[in-house]
Amino acid sequence: MLTCIIEFKIKFNEVDVLGIVWHGHYIRYFEDGREAFGDKHGLAYMDIYHQGYTAPIVNIHCDYKKSLVYGDSAILETTYIDNPAAKLVFKYKLYRASNKEVIAEGMSVQVFLDRNTKQLQLITPDFFMDWKSRQSLLSSK
């Protein structure tokens, strides 16, 4: 499995009047995880863009278990879930850094669109197959 782990501190502008992280920020944390994953594993958004594609989110969800509060440090683990379709699937696990308590879990699905025509790509783009090969995700036949 390909993963990326980032750690960050909860900022004042991410919390409500009670000092609790607003629920919408968890989705942004997942975005930060995908961006860090792409940088680490050679699949950054601009890499996709320069290959002639975009990869919009078509499905995302978050299961909230606990709350983060102002000043907490959090750890986000982003894991790529391999699949045969022309899409990117990621799972997320968000922990409180101080005690490794699971705060939230989630998943997202992105598809490939032709950058110019916005046409959905039903066949996996060559550059993505090459990336999978470099990551040893393709089985030999």
For 14, which DSSP code? G
In the chain, the amino acid numbered 47 is D
48 to 37, 61, 63, 125, 131: CA distances (angstroms): 13, 23, 28, 10, 11
**Position 47 pLDDT exceeds 70:** yes
pLDDT, position 83: 94
Q: From the CB of residue 6, how many other CB atoms can be counted at a distance below 10 Å?
A: 16
| Confidence category of residue 138, pLDDT binned at 50, 70, 90 | confident
For 93, which DSSP code? E
pLDDT, position 1: 85
Note whether 92 and 33 are within 8 A (CB): yes
Domains plus CATH for the chain?
A: 2-134 (3.10.129.10)
- Strand-pairing partners, residue 90, are 80, 108
Tell me: the pLDDT tens digits for 71-124? 999 999 999 999 999 999 999 999 999 999 999 999 999 999 999 999 999 999
12 to 19, 50, 95, 99, 119: CA distances (angstroms): 8, 36, 19, 21, 40
